[in-house]
Chain A
Amino acid sequence: DTAVSQTPKYLVTQMGNDKSIKCEQNLGHDTMYWYKQDSKKFLKIMFSYNNKELIINETVPNRFSPKSPDKAHLNLHINSLELGDSAVYFCASSQDLGAGVPDTQYFGPGTRLTVL
């Protein structure tokens, strides 16, 4: 009955590879997010999706591409991985209260990506 789940939990790969991280929420939320948490613990938003439509893409290289097949899923694809992509990636979801009114975000357990 996990609310927000991510797979895999750990991902170790070589530079130049392409990888994907999956996220699913069973809360019926309208908005989903991807965050990157670097080694200094700073949480920075990468993408925000509302009802399967991209809302923001915060200065993220185009090697990163979100894919939302339906409201409950937001996957993250990363092409040509670089050393600097090593971080913990968190997925989150929240309910849209209408007119951009925010509500509580629920986070997934995170995916620790290590690029060698």
Chain B
Amino acid sequence: GENVEQHPSTLSVQEGDSAVIKCTYSDSASNYFPWYKQELGKRPQLIIDIRSNVGEKKDQRIAVTLNKTAKHFSLHITETQPEDSAVYFCISGGSYIPTFGRGTSLIVHP
């Protein structure tokens, strides 16, 4: 099955800094790469996704980049704010067998 490695497991930044979280995957057939944000005590929610036919996608302060050759994709958050503090998960794998990364706990210090 698919194997997804997510790094780092914890990321601590100062407000206004940038944060980057990286995931690598093993299944070359994977073609959809979403990122989810989970705030404490709440459900995971999609923040951005990318399909394999593009290399980068941006939505305001959040961007995702994909390198299909190297089989990795990254989440970039610029100008971080305290409300960005949460656990972030990447997903790879097909529609019926999604595999989550182990999560990155992002802490943004005011």
Interface residues in chain A, defined as those with a beta carbon under 8 Å from any beta carbon in chain B: 31, 33, 40-45, 48, 50, 55-56, 90, 94, 96-97, 100-105, 107-110
User: B89 in the interface, Cβ–Cβ < 8 Å?
Assistant: yes
| Bitwise interface map of B from 69 to 106 toward A, beta carbon under 8 Å scored 1, else 0 | 00000000000000000010101011111111011010
Q: Are A45 and B98 in contact (CB under 8 A)?
A: yes
CB neighbours (8 Å) of B91 from chain A are 105
A contact residues around B49 at 8 Å (CB) = 104
Q: Are A43 and B95 in contact (CB under 8 A)?
A: no
Q: What is B's interface to A at a CB cutoff of 8 Å?
A: 31-32, 34, 38, 42-46, 49, 87, 89, 91, 93-100, 102-103, 105
CB neighbours of B43 from chain A (8 A): 90, 107-110
Give 30 CB contacts A-B under 8 Å.
Answer: A41-B38, A41-B87, A41-B105, A42-B103, A43-B89, A44-B100, A45-B99, A48-B97, A50-B96, A55-B96, A55-B97, A56-B97, A90-B44, A97-B95, A100-B95, A101-B31, A102-B31, A102-B32, A102-B94, A103-B32, A103-B95, A104-B46, A104-B49, A105-B46, A105-B91, A105-B98, A107-B43, A108-B43, A109-B43, A110-B43
